[in-house]
């Protein structure tokens, strides 16, 4: 429970921000420019996840469940989704998805997964290496971690400025930096696909 992780006075600004946005996060991301961006990011994900139908999948930093629901639609089973914002977890009401309120850095599940997805969460955490290492710990043999991150380009820097206005800094990743972070987490970057204007999806395996 988030209350067990943080007292009310010390909820980190990132989580305070997402908790406030949870009630209309799904609807807002399904309209306008954001929906256009989402469709292309999801297509890049689909190109990099490999086969997972009938296999277990984990969505770390699931938000209102955009990817968790698509994993279930594509036949992943079971689908487990983790987020530290209780309001996001509450917004993810799909009977095929098991939700867990927890921190992506420390959550420790009993299951191992064919696919672990991190969509738009690594830029918000204090230690992306620790989060990727935790994702690796949850992989079954031959499994894959797929992550969407913002690139370090002009559009990415605008995205970072947008978040600065909400009182926190986010990380941007160029490809060599992401490969370094993945390697430090015990993962090997096997494929990357940029998504205009500032996203990049990376697929990783545990050697
Ligand atoms: C940009 S949203 C992306 C949500 C979802 N993956 C999507 O694509 O719609 C980032 C999510 O990460 C969650 N988050 C941020 N830091 C977290 C942490 N340390 N542990 C768990 N969740 C976290 C936020 O609550 C938020 O729901």
pLDDT tens per residue, range 12-24: 999 999 999 999 9
Domain of 191 in residue numbering reads as 2-205
Q: Which residue has the higher pLDDT, 79 or 7?
A: 79
Phi-psi region of 175 (alpha: psi -120 to 50; beta: other; left: phi over 0): alpha
pLDDT exceeds 80 at position 185:
yes
Residue nearest to ligand 1 atom 19, measured at CA: 103
Rounded distance, CA 149 to CA 64, Å? 18
Rounded distance, CA 190 to CA 204, Å? 5
Question: DSSP state, 49?
Answer: S
Distance 190 CA to ligand 1 centre (A): 24
Dump pLDDT digits (tens) for 100-113: 999 999 999 999 99
Contact 197, 150 (CB under 8 A): no
Residue nearest to ligand 1 atom 27, measured at CA: 63
pLDDT of the residue at 11: 78
**Confidence band (pLDDT; 50, 70, 90) for 5?**
low
Does the CB atom of residue 103 touch ligand 1 within 6 A?
yes
What's the domain count of the chain?
A: 1
- Both tokens assigned to 29: 């991301």
Rounded distance, CA 195 to CA 151, Å? 9
Task: For residue 40, give the CATH number of its domain.
Answer: 3.40.50.150
CA 44 to chain centre: 14
3-class DSSP state of 38:
helix
Does the CB atom of residue 104 touch ligand 1 within 6 A?
yes
Does the CB atom of residue 66 touch ligand 1 within 6 A?
yes
Alpha helices in 49-168 (DSSP H): 66-73, 86-91, 128-137, 154-164
Atom number of ligand 1 nearest to Cα 59: 6
Predicted TM-score of the model (pTM): 0.96
Does the CB atom of residue 120 touch ligand 1 within 6 A?
yes
Distance 52 CA to ligand 1 centre (A): 22
């Amino acid at each position: 429970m988030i209350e067990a992780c943080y007292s009310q006075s010390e909820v980190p600004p990132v989580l305070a921000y997402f908790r406030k946005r949870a009630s209309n996060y799904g609807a807002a991301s399904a309209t306008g420019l954001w929906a256009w961006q989402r469709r292309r990011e999801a297509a890049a994900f689909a190109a990099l996840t490999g086969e997972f139908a009938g296999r277990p999948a984990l969505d770390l930093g699931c938000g209102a469940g955009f990817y968790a629901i698509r994993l279930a639609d594509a036949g992943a089973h079971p689908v487990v989704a983790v987020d530290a914002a209780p309001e996001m977890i509450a917004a993810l009401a799909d009977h095929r998805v098991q939700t867990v309120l927890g921190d992506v850095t420390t959550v420790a599940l009993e299951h191992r997964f064919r696919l672990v997805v991190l969509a738009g969460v690594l830029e918000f955490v204090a230690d992306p290496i620790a989060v990727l290492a935790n994702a690796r710990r949850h992989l079954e043999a031959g499994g894959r971690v797929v992550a969407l991150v913002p690139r370090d380009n002009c559009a990415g820097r605008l995205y970072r400025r947008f978040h600065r206005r909400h009182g926190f800094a986010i990380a941007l990743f160029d490809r060599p930096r992401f490969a370094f972070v993945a390697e430090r987490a015990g993962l090997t970057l096997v494929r990357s696909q940029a998504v205009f204007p500032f996203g990049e999806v990376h697929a990783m395996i545990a050697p």
